[in-house]
Structure 1
């Protein structure tokens, strides 16, 4: 007689390939390195040309001063870009920093072009203008990458949902051809001799069966809402915004949503964040009753 055979199906995770994420990280690292190199080269070309202009106009004998003079122009660009980065991380606009960058870059371009002379070829003016313009654009791109990196590091308490789907391990019983097993209980009942009838009268007692009352209905307002329940959204921005509700049980502000979106590589559009928040509250209407930590 063959007994049923128990077969355990192992846990089979279904994972999406990580090739795209690896390629994205490699491209980001390469872009950062090239941006740093381009910024350094452009600033060096602009700085050296301004030193030549200073040497030809009154500082030929003072070599140290001729090399220090371009810093009074180009450093305004560096200072202004750093102040713009600080203001961007604080989600505000620093017009004074923008004015510094505009003044420094405008002066750098004008002095580089003017230093060529009046009787030069048109292409000479273009060659002189390219380094300061490239320095401005490259340094701005570098500050943008630094801002994205710092925003991702500053984001806390937000986890994006995993894309892998795991199939739970479920034991499966496979029946092997053969006669069904004989129940031990029925075999014992068959083999056991019948008890002898009692000699005296038999008294039958009615056993009291406990009755379980129906549970009282629970009002909907007293039902506990589990914010950690796996609510799945097809839109990645909606899923990210929904995850923010479970961190401190408050409605996420626009600044917090855009910071989380920037950290996840989904952009930082405020209108997109608000639209996603509206869709989440429309699907799970009880989330609209949560207090707002910061108005957004």
Structure 2
């Protein structure tokens, strides 16, 4: 029976998730802008100024999320980015609730708070997807191998035969010197990408001829102190199965 292409299905699922997340982000920000626009209109701002005023609140969310994404790719924590995101989110939620005014129905405040909360969560999910995509495209930086000097072997000298003391005695046979072996050239160290592929290929054998899942690969790469994001795991498994196509037909290993 032919095996369906799993990479194609995963790609379309990722594209669909990104499209839906983008649509949710746009709708959430639009609803939040509408509420803040009404609040600005009610407090002496009209026309273009009333539409520009919400950007002074909600734009902090976008700036903070982008800086958090940048810091994540650099493997560090940016507290300024977190503070900007928190300030923009809290300010947008509070002002959206204030735009309702005095109401006896608590659901009015819930409806007003949903758009800014949804905008924060949707934009965070979108930045997470961008992070995984960019991380899967990064090539590991390898340091040039250090030159290794070949070991020096001492020259083998032939032993001189001993002088014959008596003419009647048979001449002694001297041992032939062993041939000098050339030193073996040291093998070049594997690059991080080759180490990753080797670890993923060994998982097929260690799991009993089963296809490892993302969790198996991530744990193995983490133990080897190598990059272990979901995108890196999927790309490594794809390279291994392209080199050995029969591995695709193996049953999936059950994640512990």
Which TM-score applies when normalising by structure 2?
0.61
Unaligned runs of at least 5 residues, structure 2: 143-175, 204-215, 235-256
Which TM-score applies when normalising by structure 1?
0.54
Q: How many Å apart are 1:154 and its aligned residue?
A: 1.6
| Change in CA separation of 1:218 and 1:34 when aligned onto 2, cut-off 3 Å | same
Q: CA RMSD in A?
A: 3.3
1:122 is aligned, of 75, 98, 106, to 106
CA deviations on 1:243-284 (whole Å, 9 max, x unpaired) are xxxxxxxxx8x5xx22x6443246xxxxxxxxxxxxxxxxxx
2:202 is matched with 233
Q: How many Å apart are 1:18 and its aligned residue?
A: 5.1
User: For 2:202, what is the secondary structure of its paired residue?
Assistant: coil
Determine the C-alpha separation between the residues in 1 that align with 2:219 and 2:177.
43
Determine the C-alpha separation between the residues in 2 that align with 1:132 and 1:123.
15
Determine the C-alpha separation between the residues in 2 that align with 1:102 and 1:129.
15
| Change in CA separation of 1:237 and 1:223 when aligned onto 2, cut-off 3 Å | farther
Structure number with larger C-alpha Rg? 1
2:19 is matched with 33
| Change in CA separation of 1:122 and 1:40 when aligned onto 2, cut-off 3 Å | same
Q: How does 1:128-207 map to 2 (within 5 A)?
A: 128-156=112-140
Unaligned runs of at least 5 residues, structure 1: 1-15, 159-211, 243-251, 267-296
Q: State whether structure 2 residue 9 is matched by structure 1 residue 47.
A: no
C-alpha contact 1:233 1:239 (8 A) present in aligned 2: no
The structure whose residues are more often strand, as a share, is 1
Q: How many Å apart are 1:98 and its aligned residue?
A: 0.4
Determine the C-alpha separation between the residues in 2 that align with 1:40 and 1:107.
19
1:87 is aligned, of 42, 64, 71, to 71
Q: State whether structure 2 residue 43 is matched by structure 1 residue 57.
A: yes
| Change in CA separation of 1:156 and 1:136 when aligned onto 2, cut-off 3 Å | same
Determine the C-alpha separation between the residues in 2 that align with 1:85 and 1:68.
26
C-alpha contact 2:217 2:233 (8 A) present in aligned 1: no
When the two structures are aligned, how many residues end up with a matched partner?
182
2:231 is matched with 263
C-alpha contact 2:37 2:50 (8 A) present in aligned 1: yes
C-alpha contact 2:218 2:230 (8 A) present in aligned 1: no
